[in-house]
């Protein structure tokens, strides 16, 4: 999206202290996450204004996608986020935008999650997500201004047509995923991954 994209963000100081530690992967139930985020005061600010403003955290849906055999979707980073190029990722997602706004914050996050997954995977049907927890890191410029809301879902591999930004995408068994040189968020999200 263009420079005028307005994304959901919250003041860092309003978030639970344990969510904004230097490097965390905190497993949470959907209910406990909703109880917190639905009480937050959110703003939809121009992404160009807040990408480097550490007073704010943009809540980013980060979705782990599995196939029927419980292999995990992986891809090499390529596209608009130059700071992550070349690293492997297991997360699909992006910013929650003003078009995703609903009455409750959690519902807005879910709407953004669904929209991003539809855009990136070419899915044309509604998807049911399982919430796993939150991830955060303060070691990189990307991390300072983003908080990951981690979800998981399973899909028939024949139902997807991934976007060009998902270079070299494939489904891999979990042990192979662990051997990849991954972005930090993927390394954190792995600890929340639920095998069925």
d(C-alpha 186, C-alpha 189), whole Å:
5
Answer yes or no: is pLDDT of 31 > 90. Answer: yes
Asked if residues 142 and 84 have their Cβ atoms less than 8 Å apart, the reply is yes
- pLDDT tens for 1-29 read 445 789 999 999 999 999 999 999 999 99
Whether 78 maps to a domain, the answer reads: yes
Whether 136 maps to a domain, the answer reads: yes
- pLDDT tens for 140-185 read 888 999 999 999 999 887 778 777 777 788 999 999 999 999 999 9
Mean per-residue pLDDT, 31-48: 96
What separation, in Å, do the N-terminal and C-terminal C-alpha atoms of the chain show? 35
- pLDDT tens for 87-120 read 899 999 899 999 999 999 999 999 999 999 998 8
d(C-alpha 58, C-alpha 16), whole Å:
14
The pLDDT-based confidence of 34 (bands split at 50, 70, 90) is: very high
Q: What is the pLDDT of residue 85?
A: 58
Q: What is the pLDDT of residue 180?
A: 92
Whether 195 maps to a domain, the answer reads: no
Q: What is the pLDDT of residue 2?
A: 46
Answer yes or no: is pLDDT of 196 > 60. Answer: no
Q: Which domain holds residue 128?
A: 6-190
Q: What is the pLDDT of residue 160?
A: 81
Q: How many structural domains comprise the chain?
A: 1
Question: By three-state DSSP, how is residue 2 classified?
Answer: coil
Q: What is the pLDDT of residue 98?
A: 96
Whether 165 maps to a domain, the answer reads: yes
- pLDDT tens for 44-90 read 999 999 999 999 999 999 999 999 898 999 998 765 555 555 789 99
Asked if residues 21 and 136 have their Cβ atoms less than 8 Å apart, the reply is yes
Q: What is the pLDDT of residue 78?
A: 64
Whether 162 maps to a domain, the answer reads: yes
CATH code for the domain of 80: 3.90.79.10
Whether 1 maps to a domain, the answer reads: no
Please, where are the H alpha helices in the chain? 30-37, 47-50, 105-121, 141-144, 174-177, 184-190
- Spell out the residues 6+ positions from residue 148 whose beta carbon is closer than 8 angstroms to its own: 60, 61, 62, 91, 134, 135, 136, 185, 188, 189
Handedness of CA 9, 13, 18, 21 (dihedral sign): positive
Q: What is the pLDDT of residue 82?
A: 53
Answer yes or no: is pLDDT of 131 > 70. Answer: yes
């Amino acid at each position: 999206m263009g420079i005028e994209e307005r994304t959901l963000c919250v003041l860092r100081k309003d978030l639970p202290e344990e969510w904004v530690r230097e490097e965390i992967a905190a497993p949470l139930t959907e209910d406990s996450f909703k109880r917190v985020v639905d009480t937050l005061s959110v703003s939809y600010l121009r992404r160009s204004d807040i990408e480097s403003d550490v007073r704010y955290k943009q809540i980013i849906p980060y979705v782990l996608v599995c196939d029927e055999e419980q292999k995990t979707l992986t891809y090499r980073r390529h596209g608009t986020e130059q700071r992550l190029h070349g690293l492997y990722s297991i997360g699909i997602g992006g910013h929650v935008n003003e078009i995703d706004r609903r009455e409750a914050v959690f519902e807005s996050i879910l709407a953004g999650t669904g929209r991003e997954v539809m855009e990136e995977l070419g899915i044309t049907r509604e998807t049911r997500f399982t919430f796993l927890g939150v991830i955060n890191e303060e070691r990189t410029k990307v991390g300072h201004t983003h908080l990951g809301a981690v979800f998981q879902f399973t899909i028939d591999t024949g139902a997807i047509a991934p976007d060009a930004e998902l270079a070299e995408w494939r489904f891999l068994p979990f042990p192979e995923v662990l051997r990849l040189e991954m972005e930090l968020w993927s390394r954190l999200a792995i600890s929340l991954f639920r095998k069925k």
